[in-house]
Structure 1
Amino acid sequence: MPKWIFQGNPKQFSINEDKYPDLHDINQYVKDGKIIDWSIRQKQHTHEVKTGDQVFIWRSDGGDKNTGGIIALTEVYSEPKDNGGAYSQVELKVKETRLNESEGMLLRHKLKKLPETRNLLIMRLAQLTNYKITDDEFATLLRFWADPELVEKRVDKSLIERYLLYYNDEYDNFSKEFEYLEDSYRYFQKFRDPKYIKSMEWEDFQQIGEHVNAYRMPLAKGRAFGKMNASIEKYRASFLNLIHGSDPLEYRMEQFLNNDQHKLFGIGASALSEIIGNVYPEDYCFYNQRDRVAVENELEIEPDYQRGDTFSSKFIKFQKAIKEHDIAATYENVVGRKTNLPIYYEVDQFFSFIFDKFKDKHAIEKEAPKYWLLAAGENGKYWDYFRDNEQISIGWNELGDLRNYKDKKEIAQSLKEKHDYDHHPRNDALANEQFVREIKEGDYVLIKAGTSQLVGFGQITSPYQYSPGNGAQHSFRDVEWIRHGEWDVSDLPFHQKTLTDVTPYEDFLQKVMQKIEIIKDLEGEYGVNESKPYTTEHIKRDLFMDLKKVEDAIESLDYKKNIILQGPPGVGKTFVAKRLAYYHLGSKSPNNIDMIQFHQSYSYEEFIRGFKPNTEGHFVLQDGLFYKFCRKAQEQPEENFYFIIDEINRGNLSKIFGEVMMLVEADKRGKEFEIQTTYSKEGEHFYIPENVYVIGTMNTADRSLAMVDYALRRRFAFIELEPGFNTESFKEYLQTKGISQGFIDTIDSLMKEINTEIVNDKVNLGKGFEIGHSYFTPDHDIEDEQGWFERVLRLEIKPLLQEYWFDQEDKVHELLSRYQ
């Protein structure tokens, strides 16, 4: 069952005086109310809150610093009801109340210090009323609620000690790799004998690929150890110098990576860090991305990296930093030794634990949903069960709880044994693996009955669940059905598999969605046309720009009705345009926003109205995109509508707008200014309604384009967008993708230096040619930050700089070489 935190502000909390005439403030309300009402203001939760759900009540500070926190534990008494207002209401049964610290209240500022609770969504997004929390988060809060002294015992300890206590509590639940590390330790200890290295054959070196995490991807292992890339003598000499050379380790590592005499193809920095850590685990910790993120981002230890540091010097500084903070000794004092392995193996697993928990804290940054096609049994025989119970299932009950299998290989082996197959059931095993591990809450599922009919479309609302008593469906997930019916899809190619991820098949997905009347929003996601709130907190998180500039844009929309976002490449002008529309509207409403990109061939006939060929090849009068958009807005005068024109200065604006140019002006809106257009029918007029807002984008570095037509320019307010490398939201975004603080600082330093050179080049470039942050905003988690960073420099930044300074190749090389 879902678990919740519901928040109330003591300064603004309102109580139904008719229902509770004797209760006048939030404290009294919670303490004496017994059965109390609470608002459900996040609409997406309205259908999720169920009777019996456990709810913590959180009282905010309300202006009195350090007084906020958890004051009660309650239970949902009845499901949410629409009370005729803007929000639904739910009844809560109060089980226990603590209104101050002496009574055992859990204070926010103390919970904020604990790694177990510091990353609760309510800590990061404090303006909401209803917060869904995970079972683990609820269990942690319940533990502290049952023993408030536990919080007191921890808050005064160092950050490292607090994380170690957290690790110690979770040790049995954390997936550790000590068996793998022990095998690696035994293998690499042989390297400490120079005689062994001198006697190694190619097959011995190939074993490195089995004992280094960097080679878990087959492609990486194949590149490095699939075949010899040098003579066996070079392999022996390179490793002898690395492990047993007389120079300092930093120098030997640098030689191994960059000196042609020692460099070995396929063995890069990440692998080298693990090799050193495995050979000398009593002295050196691994220096992989997980370790760096844990140390730099979460434990807030700064290794004092400097511009121009090589990987080897960073490695040594990292080791020095963790020794200066006595991490190994503190680990032994707080956690104690768990294995017979050298200490830094255990420290590495502690760092891995921190990294995994760190990733969890960014739950608000949801990944784009996937779309799954699932068979409801043979010819849809389970569909009625799916629909009525709001669940989906994968079948194969004989497998039991799918979480007990390590991977799809184990599932396939079990299926083969249970059914005595003479083949390898790859597809069936993959379906079960995807059902238990790949499907996420928020993903969408399409239900097929046979190969020619769709019967349902819904959104996944729970993690994987297993219950042998759950009817015929032992492995299942909860679903909120958005559409159900019967749709003929016999004209589409349907997969025969039980479960298929159809997200990559965009054409197929688009045709399916059209059949069941599901639309795509501006973010490229399919869904029903539901408004989702979009507030200041959302825009602060989404945009890497000063909020004052955001307010300037919103005010300009209010009085001018038309704005143009202009800026250099890579500042996310289109991305910003969408979010300004959301923010001005107050919600994500895809039906209220449309977008077009101008180009040199774009015409009045496409934009406003004209004769165009129909499907039969005859020229008929057809409304253009903007004309239809304005008609839709005229029919709904109580709502705002936003028309985004990307690359507005790429079109011939006078030609595209024609006589409608006059109507774009803010004081020429409305029916009283209606005109006849070039292709108006007799007695027909057109006007732009007052509830239409136009947002254009323009690239200031586009040399080939003429200035925006003056007649249009005076009708728009111009908002200048700048690179956001130095903003906190940009840095926080990179952290959500698993980038270490040291690398974030490197990106900031590099781009500041490059953009300064661009701005100072007044003759050829200038401020309008700066490079924006979007080059460094990945849309997925980064597993290898070094490789990702180098690819961005090599494939995106370098070609742009070479275009800027086409006759100054040395300048480009010098700028980038300091960071490569």
Structure 2
Amino acid sequence: MSQWIFQGNPKRFTIDKEKYPDLHDINSYVKNGEIIDWSIRQAHHLKDIKIGDQVFIWRSDGEEKNSGGIIAISEIITEPFINGDGLSTVELKVKEVRLTESDGMLLRHLLKEMPETKNLLVIRAPQMTNYKLSEKEFSYLIDYWNHPNLLTNNSDLSIIEKYLNYYKNETQGKLPELNYIEQSYQYFIQFRNPDFIKNMEWEDFQKIGNHVNAYRMAIARSRAFGKMNAPLEKYRESFLYLVHGDDSIEIRMDQFLNNPDYKLFGIGANALSEMIGNIFPEQYCFYNQRDRVAVENELEIDPNYSRGDTFSQKFVKFQNIIRQYNIADKYESIVGRYTNLPVYYEVDQFFSFVFEKSKQTLQDDEIFHNPRYWLLAAGEGGNQWDSFKQKNQISIGWKKLGDLRNYKNKKDIAEKLKELDGLDHTPTNDALANEQFVRDMKEGDFVLIKRGKSKVIALAEIISQYKFDTENGDHHSYREVHYLNEGEWDVSDLPINTKTLTDITPYNDFLESLLKRIEILETSPPYETENPNAVKSIPYTIDYLSKEVFMDLEKIEDAIESLEYKKNIILQGPPGVGKTFVAKRLAYLHMEKKQIENIEMVQFHQSYSYEEFIRGFKPNDEGHFELQDGIFYSLCKQAQKQPDENFYFIIDEINRGNLSKIFGEVMMLMEADKRGNEFAIKLAYGKGETFYIPENVYLIATMNTADRSLAMVDYALRRRFAFIDLVPGFHTDTFADHLKSKGISQGFVDKIRAFMDDVNIEIINDKVNLGKGFEIGHSYFCPDGAVQDEQSWYERVVRLEIKPLLQEYWFDQEDKVDDLIKRS
């Protein structure tokens, strides 16, 4: 069974007067209706709704602040049906009603303050009607419903106390990873004896890798303790100084990390903080990535770092603030003790719990860096491998592109490749490879080197930023690496693609199989899958989408519902609103998973033809003409073979093509009620066989409203699509959160908003030449990585991207452009 929240807005709540003539508002409807109707407006939930499901009824605030929350609990007693207004509906049996705080309703603003309920989707995305609850969410809500005073009392606690209570309820007397902690404690306590360190052998040092979280990945453990990176005596002297030196802990840590006399390869700051926490657990808490995120972001405790603080200075400030807030004492008072170990071990486990519950992803590499894994071809057939190995480098081809840092984005790279190679198509994969190599790869990432599709020959760690040198042989664009493992491993049964560079980080099972195959991870049963060419998909929900796109959730809902009933939508809007980006995310959301294999994409242009899109005679490798399937025809055939999967065809810049010419007779099959085999037709090219568009194919197109050169989409096609307007998202919370996650201050967020408001108001007010369809979107101010100097970054965007666009808009009004730019 599933559990739900169904929401009603008291300002816009409608009641079927014929069915319920005596009920006039949401309160009377819920209190006196006994058996009531509720519409299901989130169509993707229909398949999950069953008789017997429990439903909390949520009344939104309406016009009275802090009046919203859960006012009743009910049960679904019918399967979904279509009501008189054409809406999917279920009947609910109301079991208990509480309309006011004194009655015991669960108030929204109190639930929002509790860590166990603050991330309810109805709180974060309040525009919808139907919300599915996880079992955990339902268990907390039903507990609060049964004990309403508990919510009131808990809401008065400090944020630390709230999380401690949450932790106590979740762990229920069991400390996670107890055996691991006890073994670490017993190992590291030996370091307190100087003679133990003086007599340590290499095998003793290698055991560190078994007792520090930073080395749980075998790659990191092998890097630090796989083989000695310095004489054994240096290891002894470095650890002897770290543990027993006369200097303060701050100085000792700083020297251990930075002084060549003490620094040891592979032992970084996070690992060091864990070792200190294990050796002196009565004095220091761990200071790894989980602890910092938990304390600084979720518990909202400011350690008062200063600009220029070293890692060791931050470590000391972190320890001081933990003592200042008496976290250990509060832990013992609320949670109690689960072990006889020093209390900071248990506090660290509490911080790990807070971290796991956190929804925030940190972007600052200084605080927290998740390495990514890449699959890279060593040239054609691996012909560059000897050079890679000799120079301890990796490189990307395409020397003719020059320094990749000179290109603004992937689009610029693609245009240059088209120009250099005389291509009539956009080399998307090649452009993406270059873009990822220069901007997305980071120091600390790992690269698997492949030879063709059947061999992996090395694993390396990236140890430098992107570099460009015309004197560096064939490798003008390169990065320095440290090779961790070399050999030749057969991976012909794994789904290795032919792309030059691929980010394989999201595909956990696939990545794990590769690492096991090359003996980086411990051995396990052989890699098995029903379909060896399939990469597992990643779940994708509205929660993910709401963090990635700067759109109102109501508009997202409109787009998904239109896609469901119309099957074809066009996203239209001015430049820079992320139309293509949004198109892919809407496809992910509609199929509820991030599975790129189910999406095909093409960009229309004036020369694009029916033969490329549907079917036609084209020359083969031998120069003879043969009947070949077009890209849309192939997708439809694939969808026909997999009726349980949804497939999506994204058409970028749909109004740039000759639509009647491209679609031909297939245009009549696009309508939602003309899908399926019963509407199959014979095509212009073929041998008498028929073709149809299956019901599991959806079209998402984009159209730039500022494209002056384009005619209107003809009516025959227009009536087959629903049109969704995308607008600049400068004033959405998601835009601000995105910029702050990249290191941009709130003051600069406000500055960008104010400047772009001025620019877009001028554009809108120019009714003669421009207007609303020419506004400038937010994507110009969406950096991929962390911004180190916000002023320089902002000035560069304005000077190199915004100003040229304004000069194109007002090519004969230079003073107007200059005046606007001065306001920046």
Q: Same fold (TM over 0.5)?
A: yes
Measured in 1, the distance between the counterparts of 2:54 and 2:284 equals 46
Aligned to 2:398: none
Aligned to 2:212: 212
Cα deviation 1:268-321 (Å, max 9, x = unaligned): 222111101111112211122221221122111223344544433332332233
Aligned to 2:464: none
The answer on whether the counterparts of 2:606 and 2:658 sit within 8 Å (CA) in structure 1 is no
Are 2:723 and 1:695 aligned? no
**How far 1:615 moved relative to its partner?**
11
Q: Quick one: which of 529, 533, 543 aligns to 1:505? A: 533
Q: How does 1:270-669 map to 2 (within 5 A)?
A: 270-358=270-358, 500-501=528-529, 505-506=533-534, 540-544=546-550, 574-576=580-582, 578=584, 595-597=601-603, 606=612, 612-613=618-619, 619=625, 644-645=651-652
Q: Quick one: which of 729, 736, 740 aligns to 1:728? A: 736
**How far 1:577 moved relative to its partner?**
5.0
**How far 1:548 moved relative to its partner?**
14
Q: How does 1:103-118 map to 2 (within 5 A)?
A: 103-118=103-118
**How far 1:77 moved relative to its partner?**
2.1
Amino acid at match of 2:221: K
Cα deviation 1:38-67 (Å, max 9, x = unaligned): 222222222322222222111111121111
Residues 230 and 594 (structure 1), Cα distance of their counterparts in 2 relative to 1, 3 Å cut: closer
Measured in 2, the distance between the counterparts of 1:361 and 1:76 equals 37
Q: How does 1:93-132 map to 2 (within 5 A)?
A: 93-132=93-132
- Secondary structure, aligned partner of 1:93: strand
Q: Quick one: percent identity of the two aligned structures?
A: 55
- Secondary structure, aligned partner of 1:612: strand
Q: How does 1:745-756 map to 2 (within 5 A)?
A: 748-750=786-788, 752=790, 755-756=793-794
Amino acid at match of 1:273: S
Amino acid at match of 2:69: G
- Secondary structure, aligned partner of 1:5: strand
Residues 137 and 731 (structure 1), Cα distance of their counterparts in 2 relative to 1, 3 Å cut: farther
Aligned to 1:464: none
Amino acid at match of 2:581: F
**How far 1:169 moved relative to its partner?**
2.2
The answer on whether the counterparts of 2:40 and 2:130 sit within 8 Å (CA) in structure 1 is yes
Q: How does 1:8-87 map to 2 (within 5 A)?
A: 8-83=8-83, 85-87=85-87
Aligned to 2:148: 148
- Secondary structure, aligned partner of 2:167: helix
Amino acid at match of 1:82: I
The answer on whether the counterparts of 1:566 and 1:720 sit within 8 Å (CA) in structure 2 is no
Residues 173 and 566 (structure 1), Cα distance of their counterparts in 2 relative to 1, 3 Å cut: farther
Measured in 2, the distance between the counterparts of 1:583 and 1:60 equals 25
- Secondary structure, aligned partner of 1:78: coil
Residues 314 and 504 (structure 1), Cα distance of their counterparts in 2 relative to 1, 3 Å cut: farther
Aligned to 2:179: 179
What is the TM-score when the length of structure 2 is the normalising length? 0.55
Measured in 1, the distance between the counterparts of 2:338 and 2:55 equals 37
Residues 724 and 192 (structure 1), Cα distance of their counterparts in 2 relative to 1, 3 Å cut: farther
The answer on whether the counterparts of 1:581 and 1:642 sit within 8 Å (CA) in structure 2 is no
Measured in 2, the distance between the counterparts of 1:337 and 1:718 equals 54
- Secondary structure, aligned partner of 2:265: coil
The answer on whether the counterparts of 2:601 and 2:652 sit within 8 Å (CA) in structure 1 is yes
Amino acid at match of 1:31: K
The answer on whether the counterparts of 1:593 and 1:644 sit within 8 Å (CA) in structure 2 is no
Residues 600 and 768 (structure 1), Cα distance of their counterparts in 2 relative to 1, 3 Å cut: farther
Cα deviation 1:722-775 (Å, max 9, x = unaligned): 99999334279899xxxxxxxx99964426366257459x6xx666999xxxxx
Measured in 2, the distance between the counterparts of 1:719 and 1:93 equals 41
The answer on whether the counterparts of 2:250 and 2:312 sit within 8 Å (CA) in structure 1 is yes
- Secondary structure, aligned partner of 1:301: coil
Residues 350 and 79 (structure 1), Cα distance of their counterparts in 2 relative to 1, 3 Å cut: same
Measured in 2, the distance between the counterparts of 1:227 and 1:143 equals 54
Measured in 2, the distance between the counterparts of 1:578 and 1:288 equals 35
**How far 1:69 moved relative to its partner?**
0.9
**How far 1:499 moved relative to its partner?**
10
Aligned to 1:267: 267
**How far 1:107 moved relative to its partner?**
0.8
Aligned to 1:199: 199
RMSD of Structure 2 on Structure 1 (CA): 5.5
Residues 719 and 334 (structure 1), Cα distance of their counterparts in 2 relative to 1, 3 Å cut: closer
Amino acid at match of 1:109: H
The answer on whether the counterparts of 1:77 and 1:91 sit within 8 Å (CA) in structure 2 is yes
The answer on whether the counterparts of 2:545 and 2:585 sit within 8 Å (CA) in structure 1 is yes
Measured in 2, the distance between the counterparts of 1:628 and 1:204 equals 60
Q: Which runs of 5+ in 2 are unaligned?
A: 363-507, 509-524, 560-569, 636-647, 665-683, 686-697, 714-724, 744-781, 806-824
The answer on whether the counterparts of 1:544 and 1:730 sit within 8 Å (CA) in structure 2 is no
**How far 1:163 moved relative to its partner?**
1.0
Measured in 2, the distance between the counterparts of 1:298 and 1:748 equals 21
The answer on whether the counterparts of 1:607 and 1:657 sit within 8 Å (CA) in structure 2 is no
**How far 1:82 moved relative to its partner?**
2.8
Measured in 2, the distance between the counterparts of 1:259 and 1:599 equals 59
The answer on whether the counterparts of 2:538 and 2:595 sit within 8 Å (CA) in structure 1 is no
**How far 1:144 moved relative to its partner?**
1.2
- Secondary structure, aligned partner of 2:652: strand
Amino acid at match of 1:727: F
Cα deviation 1:485-527 (Å, max 9, x = unaligned): xxxxxxxxxxxx99954577249x9xxxxxxxxxxxxxx999x
**How far 1:248 moved relative to its partner?**
2.9
Q: How does 1:780-795 map to 2 (within 5 A)?
A: none
Measured in 2, the distance between the counterparts of 1:360 and 1:54 equals 30
Amino acid at match of 1:299: L
Amino acid at match of 2:270: S
Cα deviation 1:90-123 (Å, max 9, x = unaligned): 2222221111111111111111111121111211
**How far 1:352 moved relative to its partner?**
1.6
Residues 6 and 157 (structure 1), Cα distance of their counterparts in 2 relative to 1, 3 Å cut: same
Measured in 1, the distance between the counterparts of 2:789 and 2:733 equals 8
The answer on whether the counterparts of 2:110 and 2:151 sit within 8 Å (CA) in structure 1 is yes
The answer on whether the counterparts of 1:305 and 1:317 sit within 8 Å (CA) in structure 2 is yes
Aligned to 1:434: none
Measured in 1, the distance between the counterparts of 2:167 and 2:184 equals 24
How many residues in Structure 1 have an aligned counterpart in Structure 2? 543
Residues 334 and 722 (structure 1), Cα distance of their counterparts in 2 relative to 1, 3 Å cut: closer
Measured in 1, the distance between the counterparts of 2:62 and 2:105 equals 16
What is the TM-score when the length of structure 1 is the normalising length? 0.55
Q: Which runs of 5+ in 1 are unaligned?
A: 363-442, 444-496, 510-523, 527-531, 554-560, 630-640, 664-679, 682-690, 699-707, 736-743, 771-820
**How far 1:126 moved relative to its partner?**
1.1
Measured in 2, the distance between the counterparts of 1:54 and 1:341 equals 43
Amino acid at match of 1:265: F
The answer on whether the counterparts of 2:573 and 2:579 sit within 8 Å (CA) in structure 1 is no
